[in-house]
Amino acid sequence: MAPPKSNTRSFDLSCCRRNGVIKFFKELKSLHLELPGDGGKLGSSSGASFLQWKAGFGTNLKTCVIVGATSFRKCLKKEERSRAEPMGEEIVLNDDELKLRVIWTISCLIAASTRHCLLKQILADNPSIPSLERVAISDANKHGVFCVGKEELVEMRNSMNTFESSSPPIERSPVPELNMKLWYSPVLELSESGYVMEGATLVLIRPVADGMIENDGGDSLVGDEKPFSEAVREMIKVKKSCLMTMSK
């Protein structure tokens, strides 16, 4: 979606507009858009060596999974377990460390909300593709994936139909009041992927209206991607977690 050899972070949406390429695919069921990369700025600008997220939306945010680390490196050889603190030991983040994680969370939520806005514009410009059942919007650097399923697309369309065509331009979707659960491990070895994370952090987010977050670890957004999925599986084993609420 970016012009050839473009160094900018902007992207061309002409293929998604009413007179663009998408209009010719009347039976389109699945759509995956890949946006230009951000040059690695999403993580590096906020002190993260590794920062990835997955978010699911309907009319509003439904769930978001964020994995971050202050250091992310290949494990060159089998490292001694004694270097890592026991996974069950209670670890307390200081104020600066907690503030850093909040910054990671906000930056990921803004990125997810922006992609939700993009999808709403695509749906508004292409009302004649009712067969669409799944949309994923990712980026070239694989920092984040925005996912919407069949039921959520119906929910979005119904919500958008309540507004007149003369309504103001579509803006970035507001984020509702959220429950957040945070897990932290000073050192996390990902044996399957062959990486080591330092300052490893997992954040699970859901709207307050959906209730508190349970330790089920079975979030449908977590797929087979490594090391993201492996980090999620390992982090939920940490007994100590932090509960927070985020509001406007």
The CA-atom distances, in angstroms, between 171 and each of 114, 116, 156, 174 are 8, 10, 14, 9
**pLDDT, mean of residues 54-73:** 94
| Predicted confidence (pLDDT) at residue 218 exceeds the cutoff of 50 | no
What's the average model confidence in pLDDT over 106-131?
A: 89
Write the single-letter amino acid at 58.
Answer: G
When divided into structural domains, the chain yields a total of 1
pLDDT attached to residue 1: 47
Q: What is the mean pLDDT of residues 30-47?
A: 71
Q: Binning pLDDT at 50, 70 and 90, where does residue 205 land?
A: very high
b/e for 103-136, b at 16 or more Cβ within 10 A? Answer: ebbebbbebbbebbebbbebbbbbeebeebeebb
pLDDT above 50 for 181 = yes
231 lies in some domain: yes
Q: Are 164 and 148 within 8 A, CB to CB?
A: no
Q: Which one has a higher pLDDT value, 89 or 150? A: 150
State whether residue 17 is helix, strand or coil. Answer: coil
Q: Has residue 1 been placed in a domain? A: no
Residue type (1 letter), 84? A
Would the pLDDT of 48 be above 70? yes
| 102, pLDDT greater than 70 | yes
pLDDT per residue as tens digits for the range 139-176: 988 899 999 999 999 999 888 877 544 444 566 667 78
Is residue 123 domain-resident? yes
Predicted TM-score of the model (pTM): 0.82
Select the more confidently predicted residue: 20 or 120: 120
In a domain, 241, yes or no: yes
Q: How confident is the model at residue 73 (pLDDT cuts 50, 70, 90)?
A: very high
Nearest-angstrom CA–CA distance, 238 and 231: 11
Bond preceding residue 227 cis, omega within 30 of 0: yes
Mean pLDDT of the chain: 80
Residue 6 lies in a domain: no
pLDDT score for 170: 62
**Cα separation, 103 vs 98, whole angstroms:** 9
- Domain contains 198: yes
Residue 219 within a domain: yes
Which residues constitute the domain of residue 51? 28-78+87-246
Residue 9 covered by a domain: no
Residue 111 three-state SS: helix
The residue ranking higher by pLDDT, 165 or 108, is: 108
With a pLDDT cut of 90, the percent of the chain lying above it is 45
